[in-house]
A and B are shown apart, each in its own frame.
Chain A
Amino acid sequence: MSAYNFAFFDEGSKREIRRATLKAIAIPGYQVPFASREMPIARGWGTGGLQLTLSLVGKEDVLKVIDQGSDESVNAVNIKKLVGKTTGIRATEETSEATLIQSRHRIPEIPLSEGQILVLQVPLPEPLRAYESSELVTKKLHGEREYSGAWLMLFEQIMRYGNMSTGADHPVLVHDRYVMAPSPIPRFDNPKMNRSEALILLGAGREKKVYAVPPHTQVVSLAFDDYLFQTESSAGNSCKLCGATDVFMDEFVHEETGETYHQCNDTSYCLSRLNRKVLHQEVPLNG
């Protein structure tokens, strides 16, 4: 790949993205506009995350890429391949070993630690977009901290469905200031953002925004006193492979019996538990 610079970008572009990133870290939850570049992967396929990753990656970094929980999902493989090809750095599936983790719509099950950077891919960075289509207006609403629309949205869901019916991307309040889209992570992952040890960066390539949750920042999912925030229920389910219970699970239907079963969505977490099971039969499996 000699036609391209280390990590694809010219150094000027990297510097500019890092500058936007620093601003994002300084104002937790605030969407910083940046001159998002066209990338060799499609807009909407993780170009925001990829630009952050490429602007940050150094020769010593170890990269992990996950897509909806899987290290081997086609898009994760594709992104990993591109970063590998333009930097030559090592990739890993082991969460604890990675210095840089790019993820689409999941935060790994293993708690992240100090010094790690989690880069989340964001399709729609604007949490207020659902009820206000104009960028000019939403920018003003954030500036004035006018979030009644966000609360009303949840209130209307309660009126209509008896409960908040957000799926993934349940809005959060960051550092008591900005309402932020956590990217379409399941509600199950929202609490992992609160006072995270690792730096969390969020990149929206098509929408040309970068925002951040610096380590130890308070992140609260929007909810009411009498209607509490609820994560997806995994009640009674356990992973068919490793037996884990308190994790986010994929649902499968058995082809022959038609019976429903579950597996860990975080495949590398599941795999490492399985490996432990093979190596040390005595390790208790539901922990």
Chain B
Amino acid sequence: MAYVAVRGGTIAIEESIKRLKFERVKKGAIATIPSIEGGMRGLIDQVMSEGSLYSETLAAIAIKQAEGNPEEAVFLLRAYRSTLPRKHYSRTIQSEDMLIERRISASFKNIPGGQVLGATPDYTHRLLDFDLIQETEEEARQWLSDFQEIQEKESDLRDLIQYPKVLDYLRKEGLIADCDNQDQEPDDVTRKSLEFPTSRSQRLQVLTRGQTGAVTSLAYAVIRAYGSVHPTVGELRVGEMPIYIDNPINQKTEEDDAYYLGEMKLTEVEMLIPVTVEKERGKKEIEFEIGYGICFGQNETKAIAMGILDNCLENKNPQYPTSDEEFVLFHIDSVESSGFISHLKMPHYVTFQSKLDSARKTKRQENASQKESNL
């Protein structure tokens, strides 16, 4: 029958989904979860950070399912995350407790404790390493055991040292205003939607969940031309942060009763932003403000960018869109932006037909009035 033509969506979808699986496996080789966890640390960190869920294994599954497409992997992780009940809230963490793997300052050469380069591609030449084509797991294991052997011989007690914060040094000098801890309970943007003006905790959450590229681009705009911020990296640290919860059984809140849950790898950045402060009798002084960035995993560019945007949103210079909290916070979420852009692929037959009707109506009127004026 004639109307069969408009039907058949169900079957078409089934076939499309098969097609998708075909694309994933058609080369006869599949990425295993251990191989993704082993070799795709950068992608895992990005997906965990944007997905706002800390689990390397779940991120690896998402990456596998998404064929390595980060926006799709983040989407999978978020959709899973939203089904999880909140069972506990962790105790407040202090980033002084971080077990440092990397820690640098671009502001001071001689920071107390020293610069720790750790693992970073920053000092590599970005030349494609064609030897990797031939790399075998056996070679990798051999290299690893040699490396570990040397490490054991040379290791001192440094490994577990907690480093003082660079900014504390500036505070002692009086160059940064001292501030108290703000220990009120943070708002949870996943439990209560944003309302404006936002609180700092809301802003920081949205920024840390933001799409890496979006956060980076906006912060780039700030320092290139669309902002008046000239920041320096006060301190960037990457390391494992131990997480504790209060004893859930006896309701005690002392540290000794807390339960250790595990560690999270975090990147934390404190940006130093010079500002002119007006003192008494019109005297001006330069002081430093702070922009704060923190993300799951090692995501240094994003954390720095977050620090810049945090400061822009704090100061709200009306001259720049990057200081407009609605402009920034509403548009950097990967799931939301990619979702709304991709929805344009959905049929818009009705809406378009309706617009067509309006277009024809105005055309008809124009023709009619033209005829009238010709008379």
Contact = CB atoms under 8 A, between A and B. Distances in A.
Nearest to A230: B361
Contact of A251 (B193, B194, B353): B353
A38 B350 contact: no
A172 to B, nearest CB: 15
Secondary structure dominating the interface of A? loop
A64 interface: no
Interface in B1-34: 1-3, 6-10, 12-13
B353 A250 contact: yes
A165 B365 CA distance: 12
B9 A168 contact: no
Interface string A231-252: 0110000001100000011110
Interface stretch (B77-85, B90-98, B125-133, B138-146): B77-85
B350 A69 contact: yes
A86 B219 CA distance: 41
Of the four ranges (under 10, 10 to 19, 20 to 34, 35 or more), the interface on chain B belongs to 35 or more
A73 B347 CA distance: 8
Interface stretch (A8-16, A55-63, A193-201, A216-224): A8-16
A286 B286 CA distance: 80
Contacts of A248: 350, 353
B349 A37 contact: no
A165 B358 contact: yes
Contacts of B75: 38, 42
Given A42-B338, A106-B350, A70 B193 contact: no
Nearest to A209: B193
Interface residues of A, number: 72
Q: Give the interface centre of B8, B343, B366 by most chain A CB atoms within 10 Å.
A: B343
Nearest to B355: A167
B362 A10 contact: no
Interface in B335-375: 335-336, 338-343, 346-359, 361-362, 365-366, 369
Interface string A1-42: 000110011101100100000000000000001111111101
Contact of A134 (B1, B326, B340): B326
Contact of B12 (A4, A74, A139): A74
B358 A33 contact: no
Given A38-B78, A233-B357, A206 B339 contact: yes
Interface stretch (A94-102, A145-153, A173-181, A264-272): A264-272
Given A73-B9, A188-B354, A240-B2, 20 more contacts: A4-B83, A35-B192, A38-B78, A39-B79, A42-B342, A43-B340, A44-B336, A44-B343, A45-B342, A45-B346, A72-B8, A74-B12, A77-B9, A123-B340, A135-B330, A136-B197, A162-B365, A187-B354, A208-B194, A265-B350
22 contacts: A4-B83, A33-B193, A35-B192, A38-B75, A38-B78, A42-B338, A42-B343, A43-B335, A44-B341, A44-B342, A45-B339, A47-B339, A68-B348, A70-B9, A74-B9, A134-B196, A163-B358, A164-B358, A166-B358, A240-B2, A265-B350, A271-B3
